[in-house]
Amino acid sequence: MDVSQMNNMIGVGISPPQVYASFAGEAGGYLNVNFNQRNMYNVLDKERRNQLPDARGAFGYLRTLRSTDPDIQNKYSCPLVVLSGVNHHNRTIVFGTAIVSDEKEETYVWLLEKFVDAMKGKAPVSVITDGCKSMRNAIRRVFPDAHHRLCAWHLLENAGRNVKKPKFVEMFKRCMLGDYEVAGFEDRWEKMVIEFEVQDEPWVKETYEKKEMWASAYMRGQFFGGFRTTSRVEGLHAQLGRYVNYKNNLCNFLKNFHRCMTYFRFKEVEDDFNSTHGEQVLLTSLKALERSASKIYTRNIFLRFRAILQRASTWRVFGFKRTAMCVIYFVKHYPSTGRNWQVTYYEPTSELKCSCERMESVGLPCDHIVSVMVHIDMVEIPKSLVLARWTINAKESIEGFGETEMNEWDQLTVCRYSALLASCRNLCKLACRTSAQFLETKSLVFEHCKRLSSNSQVDVTAGDGAADHGATVDEGQGEEGEERHIRNPDVVRSKGCGAIISQRSMKGKRTLRCGICGKPGHNRTTCTRRDGQTSTQLGTQQGT
């Protein structure tokens, strides 16, 4: 029991001294703990020696997860590729991950092809990357129909690094993110390069050739969910850093990474619960539309739409034109900025489209459309303006959803867990008052856990052992037997990593040698040849 608890605490990042202090706190003092800190280190050492080679142990852990977790599919400095996106709550989720040996184009092609296989042939509609050439070429080969956007933040960083003119960076940002027509973008770009005399700059030329991948004028109407940068990925990396670090071997990395993914899944279930229970407080003056949105969208998406409602009051319909098939409304900002937008309304289908095309690129009605909805007295959001991926019932449109076993973090399980956790906290508080009560309660809890484990279909104790130590790898034939030939990966240097790790530092400390005779084991002061030095050598030493 103590060993299992110790492994669990160390597994979540608690240091052995803190674990020992925790045991002492539970037992009522260090004198009441029936082992010492050295015993803990001995057990950890023994477990490490009994583990399989790192790569084979990692495969054993993955195979254990495959049977216990239906959703599962570095000290070697191997690149970690994370394929992430956003769910219906606009929260970051991970679609897939891979530890690769290098960052070549063919490696990324293989990875993306495996990703498509895992997604049952469904390729992403849109992709945002930092501009890595190998990844860009791989995306073009595997996802030929996907809209590929370059991260705006990385482009601005590169602009400042290659064209060291702060005002140029400001104007480049306006050209990139400004809501212009194509002709307007081209005119502004030409004026910018002439003003700053950067027509012959290689970076400027190369960037302009890729304008379809970063300029908003060329990407209007392409769905990116409102994202322009890879900041979500940077935030994800920061969260992963709380669970994993460069010292982890493959087995420990996988276990800690899985803990991080489990937390992400729990947050999604928590968001599902918050979106389906209770009613949103209505704050805007457009309460009918706000109430309609609160029943359709998830809570986080509703908050984004509420901001649109609040801004819509600054837009005015100043004219319209009726045609045989539709009505075109002209909308402008108050106070007027000299520019207007056209919102087309098809009465038979209640369909609305705006010339800004933000509905198509973000998935939410723009301010201009909302102002027209108010103008024509709409009290509900029409179905044509509701993107399924942002709704409360988004998961129902996923093929096969709900046909497999319930996830360990389904809503009912979360409610049970929360209720039982509150009771257990109270039990711990009462039982730890005296040593007798503690020992009695500990014995009862242990026996109850043992009884529940024996009644369950999966032996939890055996599963944990396999997951922790990777000791149940089958050495026989077939898929599992083939793991005998798997070697640990070579240490590599990936782009973006820190200082180069020399082979000498990895093998151990450098052998110190004498500066006079060149032999190890002593220095200049204790060298037997010191008295035979020439005056030139001594003079050099004194000078230094």
11-15, 418-422, 481-485: which range is least confident on average? 481-485
Digit-coded pLDDT (tens) for 520-542? 878 877 787 765 543 333 333 33
Q: Which is more confident, 19 or 329?
A: 329
Report the mean per-residue pLDDT for the chain.
79
Cis bond leading into 335, ω under 30°? yes
- Structure pTM? 0.65
Nearest to 218 by CA among 210, 229, 206, 227: 210
Phi/psi for 34 (5° steps) reads -85, 25
- The Cα-based distances of 255 to 62, 248, 372 in angstroms read 9, 10, 53
Digit-coded pLDDT (tens) for 499-518? 444 444 444 556 778 878 88
Per-residue pLDDT band for 473 (boundaries 50, 70, 90) equals very low
The separation between the first and the last C-alpha atoms of the chain, rounded to the nearest angstrom, is 62
**141 touches 242 (CB < 8 A):** no
**100 touches 79 (CB < 8 A):** yes
Helix (H, G, I), strand (E, B) or coil at 331: strand
Number of CB atoms found within 10 A of residue 100's CB? 17
Q: Which residues of 69-85 are buried (b: 16+ CB within 10 A; e: fewer)?
A: beeeebbbbbbbbebbe
Query: Measured at the alpha carbon of residue 430, what is the angle toward residues 425 and 434, in degrees to the nearest 5?
Result: 135
Q: How confident is the model at residue 459, as a pLDDT?
A: 44
Q: From CA 22, how far away is CA 10, in angstroms rounded?
A: 12
In the predicted model, what is the mean pLDDT of residues 295-314? 94
**249 touches 56 (CB < 8 A):** no
- Structural tokens at position 464: 């944990």
pLDDT of residue 544 exceeding 70: no
Q: How confident is the model at residue 534, as a pLDDT?
A: 38
